[in-house]
Amino acid sequence: MSPQKTYRLMAGMAIAMLCLLGVAIYSLSRLSSGPWTRKLSAPDIQASAHTGMPTFQLESNGENITPAYFEGKWTLLSFWSYGCPPCLEEMPALNTLALTWSGPEFRVLTVNWDEGEMLDSAKRFLQEHEITLPTIYDPKKILKNAFQVNEFPRHFLIAPDGKIAWQATGAFAWDESHARDQLLKLMELQTPESASDPVE
C-alpha cells in the first residue's frame, strides 16, 4: 500500500474515532447535565378525565392481572423500560413515594416490558438500587398495548372504582412534597363523595 493510501486510511480511522468519541461525550452530557425529573404539575381534572379501563388479561408473578385487579384502592401505574434513562432516574423517587406515603390506601405499581438481556438488566437495576416496588413484567406488551403507551415513562392514576382518574407522560420528582400534595388533591376531587349526582 502506498504511503498516500496509508495516510488516507489512518486519517479516516482517526475521524471515525473522533466521531464516536463525540457521540459518547454528548450522551454522557445528556445524562449528567441537569436532572430529567421535574415537579408534578397540577393535574387538569375535567369530567372527561375519569375514563374506563381498557380490556386486558395477563399472568405476572403468579397473579391474574385484569381491570378488576385495580379496584379497591388508589394505584399509580407507571410504565418503564431499562432503555429509558428518565425512567431509571425516576424509579428511586417512585420508590420513596410508596415507602413514605400517608393518606388514602395507595400503591405504586410499575410495568416493565423489556425482554431478553434488557429484562435481565432491568431486574438487576431494581435489585442494585433497592427498588421494592411491585413490578408487572410484560414482555408480550399486553398492558403496553392495552393502555396505548407509546412514550415513557407513562403514568396512570387509577381510582378505587377502577377508572382512570389522571394520566401523564414524563419523569417526575415523586419524592417531593409538591407531588404528594397534588396526588392528595386529585384523590380528594375524585372521591365518590365529591362526585354528587346532578340535581334534576
Q: Give 101's pLDDT tier (boundaries 50, 70, 90).
A: very high
Q: What average pLDDT score do residues 41-49 get?
A: 44
Most confident of the ranges 31-45, 80-94, 185-199: 80-94
Q: What is the pLDDT of residues 112-142, one digit of tens each?
A: 999 999 999 999 999 999 999 999 999 999 9
Q: Which residue has the cell 362526585?
A: 195
Domain holding 79: CATH number?
3.40.30.10
Q: Give 46's pLDDT tier (boundaries 50, 70, 90).
A: very low
Residues 6+ apart with CB under 8 A from 192: 161
Residues 151 and 172 in one domain: yes
Dmax over CA atoms of the chain, in Å, equals 94
Q: Residue 39: inside a domain, yes or no?
A: no
Task: Identify the weakest region by mean pLDDT among 27-36, 128-137, 141-150, 174-183.
Answer: 27-36
Q: Residue 40: inside a domain, yes or no?
A: no
Most confident of the ranges 59-63, 109-113, 179-183: 109-113
Which residue range forms the structural domain that includes residue 28? 1-34
pLDDT of residue 43 exceeding 90, the answer is no
pLDDT at residue 79 in the model: 97
The share of the chain scoring above pLDDT 70, in percent, equals 70
Q: Residue 135: inside a domain, yes or no?
A: yes
Q: What average pLDDT score do residues 98-112 get?
A: 95
Residues 72 and 158 in one domain: yes
pLDDT at residue 31 in the model: 40
Q: Residue 108: inside a domain, yes or no?
A: yes
Residues 149 and 106 in one domain: yes
The residue that leads in pLDDT, 153 or 61, is 153
Nearest Cα to 143, choosing from 169, 116, 110?
Answer: 110
Q: Residue 41: inside a domain, yes or no?
A: no
Number of domains in the chain: 2
pLDDT at residue 188 in the model: 82
